[in-house]
Amino acid sequence: MSAELWRGASSLVDTKRIARFGATYAAEYRIRNMLKWWQAIVAFGVGNPLLYLTSIGIGVGTLIDKHTHGAGPDGVKYLTFLAPALVATAALEGTMEEVTFPVVHGFDWRKVFFAMHAAGLTGKQIAQGVILSAISRAIFTVSVYWAILWIFGAFGSIHAIWLIPVELYFGACFASLMMAASSYMKDDDGWFAIIGRFVIAPMFLFSGTFYSLATLPLSVRWIGWISPLWHATEVGRHIAYGHTLSFQMIFVHFGYMTLIGVAGLLIAFRKFALRLAA
């Protein structure tokens, strides 16, 4: 390297800029890493809604609509009933994928978070970057999901477009909580498989995704009440086709999701900082 051209970090690096934009630098890394798997992300983003639509939305939907004469759960076509739940699921699952394995990758497998930290990024900025990148991916996934549902005639009104930002917000809230949980993992150790089977799968099945939660007995209905997916689905149905929700319940749904989001972020910020300085 040429000594004459060496300007030195004090003239090259703007620490105030890092303090302001550090989270976006961390997100830039995550997005670049994510793009190495773009084929899988696109295949999942497009393939998943198509599979659900053809199998459950159209297959099961045809059966239900035939017996209910188009006035299925909530008095709408089954596909209309199902569509907001699928968008909510896409948002929550899409963001979760980018905050679970990548966090273990960053802390344990490749220790790239330690490289970021050594370069001046704080634990909080790295955590913010992880969430930002997860939302970036979810923007693609949720938009594709919504567009395919629109093409299949799942939404009666263009107002259903509001599903995209609202479900992205819920996805970010859920992702914050999952990021906090992931930040405590020393290694995978099968925990993600356990979470997938005993948290995510029950959440998907008991959140009123495929039927109204009210049809479940009270002994298992509580699973839906604590499930972020149920809260996201209820608001989604309200937006998409006017599912009846009182102002108080809208407040409860947003409040619950915001609460887990804020708690997740606070726990993650603290744990990221502690692990990087341990």
Partner 1 sequence: MGCTGESEQMITAKGLTKVYGDFTAVAGIDFSVARGESFGLLGPNGAGKSTTMRMITATLQRSGGDLTILGKDPDQAGPEIRAHLGVVPQADNLDTELKVHENLYIYGRYFGLSKKYLSGKMEELLAFAQLEDKRNAKVDQLSGGMKRRLTIARALVNEPEVLLLDEPTTGLDPQARHVLWDRLFRLKEQGVTLVITTHYMDEAEQLCDRLIVMDQGKIMAEGSPASLIAEHSSPEVVEVRFGSDRNAEVAEMIGHIGDRMDVLPDRILIYAQDGEAVLSEIIGLGYHPVTSLVRRSSLEDVFLRLTGRTLVD
Give the separation between CA 72 and CA 52, rounded to whole angstroms.
Answer: 18
Per-residue three-class SS string for 36-73: CCHHHHHHHHHHHHHHHHHHHHHHHHHHHHHHHCCCCH
Q: Which is nearer to partner 1, 10 or 219 (CB)?
A: 10
Eight-class DSSP state of 189 = T
For residue 118, the minimal CB distance to partner 1 (Å) is 4
What are the Cα distances from residue 195, in Å, to 36, 97, 111, 172, 178? Answer: 25, 12, 23, 18, 10
Q: Which is nearer to partner 1, 31 or 50 (CB)?
A: 31
For residue 217, the minimal CB distance to partner 1 (Å) is 47
For residue 26, the minimal CB distance to partner 1 (Å) is 8
For residue 236, the minimal CB distance to partner 1 (Å) is 34
What are the Cα distances from residue 109, in Å, to 21, 53, 186, 274? Answer: 26, 37, 10, 18
Give the separation between CA 143 and CA 177, rounded to whole angstroms.
Answer: 23
Q: Which is nearer to partner 1, 105 or 221 (CB)?
A: 105
For residue 116, the minimal CB distance to partner 1 (Å) is 6
- Check the CA dihedral 236-241-243-245 and report its sign: positive
Q: Which is nearer to partner 1, 25 or 254 (CB)?
A: 25
- Which residues are at the interface with partner 1 (CB under 8 A)? 1-3, 5-15, 17-19, 21-22, 25-26, 28-29, 32-33, 36, 110-112, 114-122, 276-277
Q: Which is nearer to partner 1, 36 or 69 (CB)?
A: 36
Eight-class DSSP state of 176 = H
For residue 126, the minimal CB distance to partner 1 (Å) is 10
What are the Cα distances from residue 95, in Å, to 30, 131, 137, 140, 267? Answer: 13, 8, 7, 11, 18
For residue 19, the minimal CB distance to partner 1 (Å) is 7
Residue 94: name the closest of 41, 37, 160, 38 by CA. 41
Eight-class DSSP state of 243 = -
Q: Which is nearer to partner 1, 2 or 39 (CB)?
A: 2
Q: Which is nearer to partner 1, 114 or 150 (CB)?
A: 114
